[in-house]
Amino acid sequence: LYLRALLAAGIPAAAGDSEASLLDTLEAQDLLALLNALVSPGSDLDFAQVLKSPIAGLGDADLLAIARLARETGQGWWHAAHHMAARGDATPALRRFLALAARWSDLLGSLPPHDLIDRILAEGELKSRYARAVPRAMAAQSLAHLDAFLHLALDLDGGRFLTPYAFVRRLKRGLARAALPELHAGEVVRLSTIHGAKGLEAPIVILADADSRPLANGPSVLLHWPAEAPHPLHFSLQLSSRRVHPAQRALVQAEQLAAEREDWNLLYVAMTRARQQLWITRVPVRGEAQWSRRLAVHAEALDVVMPVDAGQRQPGLAAPSAGDEGEPDGPERIGVPWLARPEPAQGQAIDLDEAQVRAARIGSAMHSLLEAAAAAPHAESVLAACDAGSLALQLDLDPGEALAAIQAALRIVRSPQARVYFDAAQVRWARNEVDVAWPAADGGEPGWGRIDRLVELDEAVWVLDYKLAARNLDPARYAPILQRYAQAAAALCPGKPVRVALIGGDGSVGEWRAADPAKAVSA
Provide the pLDDT for residue 6.
74
CATH dotted code for 429-512: 3.90.320.10
Return the axis-axis angle of helices 354-374 and 388-395, rounded to nearest 10°. 110
Q: Are 392 and 399 in contact (CB under 8 A)?
A: yes
Provide the pLDDT for residue 520.
36
The backbone torsions φ and ψ at residue 13, rounded to the nearest 5 degrees and listed phi first, read -145, 155
| Most distant pair of Cα atoms in the chain: their distance | 93
CA proximity to 520, closest of 440, 464, 434, 453: 440
Write down the architecture of domain 14-172 according to CATH: Orthogonal Bundle (1.10)
Q: What is the DSSP letter of 431?
A: E
Radius of gyration of the chain (CA): 30
Tens-digit pLDDT string for the chain (523 aa):
677 677 667 677 776 655 567 887 889 999 999 999 999 888 899 999 999 999 999 988 899 999 999 999 888 999 999 999 998 989 999 999 999 999 999 998 888 898 999 999 999 999 999 999 887 777 888 888 899 899 888 887 665 567 888 888 888 877 666 776 766 555 678 888 888 787 788 888 988 877 766 555 556 788 888 888 899 888 888 776 667 788 888 888 888 888 778 888 888 888 888 888 888 887 655 445 467 666 665 554 444 443 333 334 333 333 334 444 444 444 343 344 333 334 444 444 444 467 777 888 898 889 989 988 887 788 888 899 888 888 887 777 888 888 999 999 999 999 999 999 998 888 888 888 888 877 666 555 667 788 999 999 988 999 999 988 877 667 677 888 888 888 888 888 888 899 999 999 999 988 887 655 444 333 4
pTM: 0.46
List the beta bridge partners of residue 237: 221
Distance CA 237, CA 191 (A): 38
Provide the pLDDT for residue 51.
94
